Each structure stands twice: as structure tokens, then as C-alpha cells.
Amino acid sequence: MLIAVQIAITLAILSNALGLIVDRLSWSARLTGIDEANIFFVYATSVDKPPSFTALQSSDLALLRSIAGVANAYATNSFPLEGGGWSMSADLEPDQKTASAHISYYFVDEHALDTLGVKLIAGRNFNASEIVDRDGSSAPPATGIIITRTLAQRLFPRGDALGKSLYTETKDPSPIIGIIDRLQGPFVAATGFMSTFTENSVLAPFRPLGESSTYVVRTKPGGLNDVMKAALSKLEVINGIRIISARSMQEVRARAYRSNRGLTLILGAVALILVAVTAFGMAGLTSYWVAERRRQIGIRRALGATRLAILRLFQKENLLIAFSGVLVGILLAISLNIWLIGRFEMVRLNPTYVIGSGFVMLLLGQIAVLLPALRAAQVPPALAISGSRVS
Amino acid sequence: MFGYYLDLALRSLKRNPVLTGLMITAIGFGIGTSMTSLSVSRAMSGDPIPEKSRQLFMVQIDSWGPDKRGERNEDGLDENMSYIDAMALSNLHAARRQTRIFSTYLNALPTDPKQKPVGIIVPAVDSDFFPMFNAPFRFGGPWSRSDDQEGSPLVVISRKLNDQFFAGANSIGKAFTLDGVSYRVVGVLDDWPLVPRFYNLHIRPYGQIDEIFIPFTRAIKAQASTTSGMSCQDTTTASFEVRLRSECLWIQLWVELPVAADVVNYRTVLNNYAADQQRTGRFHWPPHTQVRDVMQWLKYRHIVPNELGLLVLASFGFLFVCLMNAMGLMLARIIGRTQDISVRRALGASRTSIIGQCLVETTVIGVLGAILGLLLTLLGVMAMRAALADDFAALAYLNAKAVGIEVLLAIAATIGAGLYPTWRAAHVEPALQLKAE
């Protein structure tokens, strides 16, 4: 009885935990679509007022691109997994009541595709002449936009996205001039509204000008740390008093997912220990029963039961109990899942994990009961009949 | 009698060390895991300002209408409101205290030229902010309400910043350069751990303490850009003046409403304001507003990660399973000692004394299990700090009250698990067992 209850609880928790762990691990393993191993980011903030933001940014980018080991660089408003950025709705017609799609919005120039390492699968890249300065005092329309494949398929399922227009920031249409394979948005959310449009990204030809700049830099393979250090030291001495910092994409990724990974791993550890404790519990309880029923076993043996028969007896008993525990456990797992979905935005229960966990519990039960059952089988008939109790 | 029982208990526990060890381990692990996850969960969902959390309310108003309602929160309300609404609502003076808040990013220039300038997140607030949120002052105090109206360049700085820039001395009246403008220090805060920092949940709400505060009106005069999130409908990056007149949402409004009657009154005032906007044609929908106190606000914003809830559940399931195991092990021990007990019964021990002895035994196991559980909880809390981002590192802690509860829980749980085995032991018949020898 105790065993059945333990199995039921363990099964319920295990199948839900497995579902959540697998979901979160695969969520945090998603590719951003960029060349993560060779990219780092630079934040530069001016403390004193520079004469011209345009000139400052051009000289910064020229410097960055000239550093040995740098393949390309561009200035942007945000990047994948940064944690914050621009998001908005994208419509097929102006003045729509409900959005056609929700998107992340990146400011890029003509160097962006090469810097990020994303693949253009249709259309073309921006020309240098199409990039418009943007200093926060106005919102000029985007003369063209590049969107991700996911967004294109969602809005134009017939595959005719190129040349069509989207309405995003302003009332003016933005024609789609190119489609890239994939680019993740900057927001890191596993659940909730912000997690529903991670692959819908739009690249708009704007040069963000202001006191703070964010640069994306791609290095040639190898030596990213040295190049990053060189970039920091070279940028610090030009263009007035500035606060400069840099961060590699690997670090960005680690920071984005760190706490979620930690919690998930701990949950996994607890689930694992739970299974182990249940297995040991089964072994312990079976030992207790064996001890309690020594006399019964002895009588059976005396009446002609073989050792194997005794072994089989305990195995079968365990199987029956474990099976009933598994059945109750499945019901418990389903109800637990429904409650968790309501309360904690949990993932739906995957039947594979439930059945799989059930099998694991049955198997563990059989293994756990093996040793005590073997010991039971060793009870000699004569000793049992004489009725001496184990002390 | 108690001493005798204790002696018996210790002897019998020592007789089968493996079994005893397993029991203590089972209880210890169960308690340790559940207490660790519970302490982290408690810390994260804990009340950042328990003395006042029921009196502080976040004000929300729908100024975009059902067509353009954001989809971020369940009720379609945004955490921020527009400048127009923030000004209008605060001018109604319908609450005992109130503050408008948004956070900006400014560069602080230290007085020592050798030190590098530092970029800091600066909340722009009204003077009521400090008494509202019980901010403790080391030197000086907040600026006055008239300073609020003037938008004077004054700052309140944190203790840490005061140590860093002024070597911890009384810096009231000293100058402080932010983004090229000279501000005067009027107050230095004492250590003020407001965790989570519920008025700005955007940037590291668990890990960041704000170091500098400036008057809201000052930030508006300086046309400071916001880092605490902004939603606009279309004129996204238009000039600052346009933004002030637009329906961009970027300002929070917090009010202090000490009594329930105040809350009712404020809701009425808020809805009347929204109804006015509808009458004048600015809103084309019926009033949609809300006020939420601190804990309601944190819950609404889903501040605690969902995985934590499952972890707490898993831990308690684990505890339950461990206790069942302990019960099973205790049963196994009773079986092993039936002869023992029956001899004692035959010698005249009453059922009560057997029960008494068993209870003492289970209590001893409970105490030992509690000690192990405590050690494991300490380890577990350290492991949680390492595994989670440094954001939560400050949180998972143990205080004396939690430790006390944990020990009591361990002992109570062990005694509970031991009830059935005790009952079994008490019903061992003397005569039958002796005969069976």
C-alpha cells in the first residue's frame, strides 16, 4: 500500500517535471540564427556632448572595421537575447483593429547581414543609400524592410512576400525587399505574450544616433577575446569622454538563460532523488514484508514450492502493487498537470513521458524487490515451520 | 521514566545502525530539499515592504481603448500611463501621498578626476516617494514639495554611492554632476534593501538597488529618456515635447491609500476621470482602470518564475515520499523487535509505556533527522545561490524563525510517520510471542 502511494506520487511529479525540464532545456538551446561564436557587442555612451553623432558613429564603425581580426560591424538598437528592445505589431493593411502579427524591430545598415552571419534566402540586402539617420526627433518611414522566413510564411502563406508591404511603426507602408532564414528577437521569455513572436523579426534600414550606441562586431574565426579587448582600448581614446563596455554573444546567451537553467537543473536533481528514494523505499518495504512472512514462506516451501516460485511470488506481488500505483499515478499526473497549467503556465503533459515514467517505475520496482525476494526464497522450509522469528 | 526510555531508545537505535541511518537520511533529505526550495520561493515571492504593502497602490488606466489594447497583461492594461494622465491624476490630489515614477539613464561624473564616469539608472520621482516607501535616511532628507514643482536639480543618493564619491561623509549640500548638469545633494539614504524593486521590474528587479534619485519634474525639464519601458502607438521616436502630448505610455503612478475607504474613494475618482475623458472625446470607451497593491502588482506581473512553483511542489512530494519511507523502515524495525517488546509486556509493561518508549524513539530520530535536514538546507541554499543568476543570490537565506519551524516540522513529521508503527508495536501480545520461541 505504501509502495503504491509512493509510486503514484513519484510518477505524478516525475512526468510533469520531465515535461517542464525538456521544454525549458530545448527553449534555452534554440539557435538565434547568428554566428554566435564570433560575435560581440560594444556599448558606448558619451558623457560630454560630441559635435556630431553621425560623425562619431561613422568614426567608431570605421575604427572597429579596421581592427585586425574584425570581419564587419554595424550599429543597432538591440540584438538577439539582449533582454530588451523594440517590439510592435505589423499589419497587412493600414488601420487594422487586430494586428496581423507581432514583431521585433531591429535597426540595421547594409553591413548587418554580413556581421550577423544570417542567410538571405530571397530578395536583396539594403544599399548604403537606403539607410536613414534616426536621432529620436522623428520617425521616418522605412523605405524597405527585410523580414524572417517565419514572418513571411505567416503573413504570406502563398510565398509571395517579396514586394508586398507591411505597416509597422507609421502609417506609411514598408515594402519587403528581402527575406532572411532566421533571426531571433531580443526578448527572453519562456511563457507569456513576449514568447509568442520570437522568430518574427523585421530589419529596418535606420542608423540609431544618440548619446549611447550599441555596436555589433563580428570577428574572423578565433581570437574573439583579444579582438574585443583591442576594440575596447581603441574606442576609449577617441571621440571624447566615454563609457565603453563590451560583451561576447556567448556571455549574452549565458546571462539570458542562467537562472532558468539553474532552476531547471535543480528540479531535475530533485526528481531524480525522488525516484531513487522511491526505489530504496520499495526495497526496504519489501524486506519488511519478507521478514513478516517468513513463516508463510517456510510453509509454502515445505509444501513443495520451489525457490523460483517464491521469487516469482514476490515479483508478481510487487508488479501488481506497482501497477496499481502507476494507474493512480497517471490520474494524479493528469490532474496535477491541469492544476499546474492553470496556476503556473505549465506545459501540457506529454503522454510519452507519463507512459515512460510508468515503465520506469515498474522496472525499478522489479529491480528493487529482487534482492529481498531472493533472500525470501532462501528461507529453508524447516526453519520456517519451527516458527522462530527474526530478531 | 523518560531517562529509561531514552536509554532504551538509544540502545535499540544503535543495534541496527544501517536502518537507523537510513531513517535519519530519509527524513533529513526530505526536510532539506523542501526547506531549501521553500526558502527560495519565500524569498522571491516575499513582500518587499511588509509594513506598508497593503497601503501602496499602482494606478492603471486604459488610454488606448479596446482596439489597441496591449496584449502584455491579462486585462489589457499597461503598467505605465501617459504623461497627460499622470499629470492630470496627480493634480487631483486624491490620495494621501503619491508619486510619479520613471527611470532614466544618466552619467555621473565623480568629483575626483581620476575616477571614470559611471552610467547609472536613475529613478525620477516626486518627493512623496521617500516617505511612501519608508526610505531610511542617513543624512538629510528628501526634497520638498515645492522643489518638486520647481524641478530643482537636487539628488538623493544611496549610502554606497556616498561612500564611493564622498568617502562616506555627510555630503549634504555638495555638488554632483549628472549628464553635465550640477545637482545638489539633499539626502543620503541608509541601507535600503527593497527586494524586489517593485516600482521598476524591468531591470534586474532582484539584483539592483537604485543609487540616485532625482525629482520627476527635473527629469522632464532635462528631457531625460526612459529606460523603464515605453509603449507608443505610432509617433514612436518623435521629439520629447511631442511625446509629452502623445499617448505614449511611460510613467508609473503610485499612491498611498491607508484605509479601505480611501481605496474606494480613489477608485471612484479614477473612474470619474476616465469617464470625463470619454465625455470630452479623448477616450471612445467606458472607463477601464485598476489599482493594485504591492503584492497584487507583483502577482499580476508574474514576477516569480513558474519553475519555482513546480520545484516547491516536487520538494514537498519528495518530503512525503521520504516520510513514507521512514514509516516503512520504522515498521521493519518493529517487526525485528517484536520479541523484545513481548518480553517487556510479559514483565508487566503497559501498552502506554510501550507507546511512550516508541514515541521517545521516533522523537530522537526526528531530532537527528532535523539536524541533518538543517545542514542539508544550508548546503541547498548555497547550491541555489550558485545555480541561479546572481540576481537571486541575495535572497535565499535562513533566519532563526525558519530554522525553528523547520526543526519542529521535522520532529512532528517523524512522530506522525511513526504513529502507525507505534500502534503496531503497542498491539504486540505478550503471551503468543513467548510461546513461539
Please give the share of chain B, as a percent, with pLDDT higher than 90. Answer: 30
Contact B332 A137 (CB under 8 A): no
Nearest to A389 among B339, B386, B392 (CB): B339
Interface of B with A in 396-415 (CB under 8 A): none
> Phi and psi of B381, rounded to 5°?
-65, -40
**Would you say residue A106 has pLDDT above 70?**
yes
Q: How far is residue B416's CA from residue B167's CA, in Å, rounded to a whole number?
A: 57
Interface of A with B in 50-79 (CB under 8 A): none
Of A212-221, B6-15, B108-117, B289-298, the poorest mean pLDDT is in: B108-117
* pLDDT value of position B435: 58
Give me the sign of the Cα torsion angle A172, A177, A181, A186.
negative
Residues B328 and B262 in one domain: no
Residues B158 and B141 in one domain: yes
Mean pLDDT for all residues in chain B: 84
Domain-located, residue B93: yes
**Would you say residue B402 has pLDDT above 80?**
no
Interface of A with B in 175-234 (CB under 8 A): 190-194, 212
Q: Is A3 helix (H, G, I), strand (E, B) or coil?
A: helix
Q: Is A270 helix (H, G, I), strand (E, B) or coil?
A: helix
Contact A20 B317 (CB under 8 A): no
* pLDDT value of position B436: 53
**Would you say residue B433 has pLDDT above 60?**
no
Residue, of B229 and B110, whose pLDDT is higher: B229
Read off the amino acid at residue A64. L
> Which of A360, A9, A91, A54 lies closest to A210, judged by CA?
A54
Q: Which residues of A touch B117 (CB under 8 A)?
A: 47, 241, 243
Domain-located, residue B10: yes
Q: What is the mean pLDDT of residues A236-242?
A: 82
List CB contacts of A246: < 8 A, sequence separation 6 or more.
Answer: A40, A41, A42, A43, A228, A231, A232
Domain-located, residue B337: yes
Residues B270 and B364 in one domain: no
* pLDDT value of position B39: 79
A342 touches chain B (CB under 8 A): no
* pLDDT value of position A391: 44
CB contacts < 8 A, A to B, total 175
| Domain end position, chosen among B267, B300, B333 | B300
Please give the share of chain A, as a percent, with pLDDT higher than 70. Answer: 98
Domain-located, residue B126: yes
> Phi and psi of A96, rounded to 5°?
-80, 150
Nearest CA in chain B to A212: B105
Q: CB B412: neighbour CB atoms within 10 A?
A: 13
User: In sequence order, what DSSP letters do the residues of B258-278 get, joined into one string?
Assistant: -SHHHHHHHHHHHHHHHHHHH
Domain-located, residue B50: no
| Domain end position, chosen among B248, B277, B300 | B300
Q: How confident is the model at residue A262 (pLDDT cuts 50, 70, 90)?
A: confident
Cell triple for B42: 519565500
User: In sequence order, what DSSP letters do the residues of A125-181 get, joined into one string?
Assistant: PPPGGG-EEE-SS--PPPS-EEEEHHHHHHH-TTS--TT-EEE-SSSSEEEEEEEES
Residues B296 and B330 in one domain: no
Contact A138 B391 (CB under 8 A): no
> Which uninterrupted H or E stretch holds B139?
strand B137-140
Residues B95 and B37 in one domain: no
Domain-located, residue B233: yes
B21 touches chain A (CB under 8 A): no
Domain that holds residue B100: 56-300
| Domain end position, chosen among B258, B273, B300 | B300
Cell triple for A324: 496499481
Nearest CA in chain B to A194: B72
Residues B121 and B25 in one domain: no
Residues B288 and B311 in one domain: no
Residues B309 and B381 in one domain: yes
**Would you say residue B100 has pLDDT above 50?**
yes
Q: Where are the domains of chain A?
A: 2-27+258-385, 48-240
Q: CB B68: neighbour CB atoms within 10 A?
A: 17
Residues B27 and B85 in one domain: no
Buried b (16+ CB within 10 A) or exposed e, B235-245: bbbbeeeebee
List CB contacts of B29: < 8 A, sequence separation 6 or more.
Answer: A273, A277, B318, B322, B372, B373, B376
Residue with cell 524563525: B401
Burial of B195 (0-12, 13-18, 19+ CB in 10 A): buried
Task: Please compute Rg for chain B using Cα positions.
Answer: 31
**Would you say residue B349 has pLDDT above 60?**
yes
pLDDT digits (tens, 9 = 90+) for A274-310: 888 888 888 877 777 777 787 788 888 888 888 888 8
Strand partners, A43: A214, A245
Q: Which residues of A touch B119 (CB under 8 A)?
A: 45, 243
pLDDT digits (tens, 9 = 90+) for A42-67: 999 888 778 888 999 999 999 999 99
Q: What is the mean pLDDT of residues B416-425?
A: 84
Contact A262 B327 (CB under 8 A): no
Q: What is the mean pLDDT of residues B166-188?
A: 88
Residues B27 and B126 in one domain: no
Q: Is A352 helix (H, G, I), strand (E, B) or coil?
A: helix
> What ipTM does this complex have?
0.76
List CB contacts of B228: < 8 A, sequence separation 6 or more.
Answer: B80, B101, B102, B103, B200, B202, B203, B250, B252
Q: Is A35 helix (H, G, I), strand (E, B) or coil?
A: coil
Residues B113 and B224 in one domain: yes
Contact A138 B237 (CB under 8 A): yes
